Structures are given as structure tokens and as C-alpha cells.
Amino acid sequence: MAHNRKVSIAPQPARIQLPSLATPPATVLEYLCEHFSRVPRETWAARIDARKVCDGKNAPITATTRYQPGMTVFYFREVELEAEIPFEEKIIFENEHLLVADKPHFLPTTPAGNAVNECLLYRLQRRTGNPDLAPLHRLDRETAGLVMFGKVPAERAVYTGLFAAGEIKRKYRAVARVPVELEMDCREWLVENRLEAGSPWFRMKIVAGEVNARTKIFLKDVQEGFGEFELNPQTGKKHQLRIHMMSLGFPILNDEFYPELKLRERGDYSDPLQLLASEIRFRDPISGEELGFQSQRRLTCP
């Protein structure tokens, strides 16, 4: 299927704070090239020459600007050709404080990779006319389902604090292969381990150490070799649910990252990851009201 493509520049700048490193690079340009290794050096050099990269005082960075830990660097994400993602989000709730969207598979929550304006955040900002709209948490590009957005900048910390304190109850649905011959004496698990960045950089791995990822998992039903699972994360590490399902021997259907890396071709929207952020429940800290939302999307089996 052919899709329209266009040059895209993000409407808002991204920012990064330069960290303290044991062996820091000599210049900001060197750091950007190392940190964003998928962006060619020529691209960063051209952006800097065009005065599109600035410091915290809005002064343009040059090719020789020295690396300084703690410096804030602003830049606009841009891609020469951006494909339109042919799936629509749905707004299922909105008041003066919050907006809750039901995200389709393949649409990133915020700009990522070759997606700049084709992300849930900028779509919703354009649709609502609210440039202050900001996500209160994230879903992977491959995952569908509920995402909460804050509408008032001064209120964001109140809501993000609920996630940090574990006061927002989230429920996910997933489909995985369950061999017919497998004897299932146990149908519920508490998976606890430590996750850290792996290789390549966009994958995570289980390592020894203090637990930082915890999920309750329930096998709800099995039909013709496929199981429907309910996942209740108690923490929010990157790719946590995907790795925890894999660790039980049930990698989520159509997962292109785990257990093996099988990246799909750009523009291939077949066989979406069978993972859905299906439910969110919490007490609103501003109104005191109990709120609950359910995704209108459904998972599919072969």
C-alpha cells in the first residue's frame, strides 16, 4: 500500500540535558552523534550550521561548542520524509484537567525515530488546539490502548505522581501461543526482576540486582493453542510486559523485539503486537472522583 510522505519538522523543540560522563566528548556535536547514533553525523552538522540547535539561553550551538555537563540543548526533530500512519486515535474522555485517548497500534505516543508529526501527542494538540497537552505516561509504538494526557501544565506533577506512587491501576490484555499439550497447573504468576538497557539500545534485558519491575499475570482463557492473558503492572519499566511474558515462556504474539529481534519493514502494518492497554482506574486528586476508562479496541488471534 502506498502512503503519502512529507517533510516534517516538530512544532515544539525537544530538549536534552548533557550528563556527567567518565570520558565526555570534546564537543556537543560529538555527543549528539554518539547519543543519537542512528542520525548521520552530516545531519547533525547541517542542523548546527543552520542554527537549529541551541543552548538553554537560546544561543545557537556551533560545531566547536565545548561539552559541558548540565548544559541544556534544544533542537527540533525533523525527518525529510515522514509516512502518514493510516490509523486513527479516539478521544474517549475529556474534561478541563484530563484527556484520555485510545491509541491504535503503530502510532508512537511522542516523536520517535522517523515519526515526528505522526505521533499521538501532536495529532491531539492539532485536534484540540491545546499546545499545552502532554502525556502523563507512555505506550510503546507497537502497543494499542489508553493514554492519559494532562491539559494544564501546573497540574501535571499531581497526576504523574499518581503513577509514581502506584495509585493508578492499569490493566492490559495480551495474546500468546499456549501449546495445546502444555499442562497448565498454574494460571497466575507474580513476575519480579530487574530490567536494564540491553543490546541493541532499544531492547531491555533481565539482570541480577534489586527488583525494579513487577507484574501480576493471569491466564484467562485458552482456545486452539492461543491464550488470552490479563497483565497488571505494578511498575512501569520499558518493555516490562513484553519481557515478563517472554520470561514465562509466552512471548506476546507478533512481538518483533522478543525473544528474537525481527524488525518489520517500514510501512508494514500487518500483524500488530497483540498487547492492549485496556483499562485505567484511579481517584482524581483534584476532583476526588473515582474515574475508570476502558479501551474500545480488541485483540485478534490468527
Q: Is the peptide bond before 259 cis (omega within 30 degrees of 0)?
A: yes
What confidence tens digit (pLDDT) does each residue in 96-108 have? Answer: 999 999 999 999 9
Residue 90: strand pairing partners = 102
For 5-82, CATH gives 3.10.290.10
What confidence tens digit (pLDDT) does each residue in 128-139 have? Answer: 999 999 999 999
Class of domain 85-294: alpha beta
What is the pLDDT at residue 142?
A: 96
SS3 state at 31: helix
Residue 124: its H or E element: helix 120-128
pTM of the model: 0.81
Mean pLDDT for all residues in the chain: 91
Encode 102-132: b = buried (16+ Cβ within 10 Å), e = exposed: bbbbbbbbbbeebbbbbbbbbbbbeeeeeee
Residue extent(s) of CATH 3.30.2350.10 domains in the chain: 85-294
What confidence tens digit (pLDDT) does each residue in 151-206 have? Answer: 999 999 999 999 989 999 999 999 999 987 777 778 999 999 999 988 887 899 99
Residue extent(s) of CATH 3.10.290.10 domains in the chain: 5-82
What is the pLDDT at residue 233?
A: 97
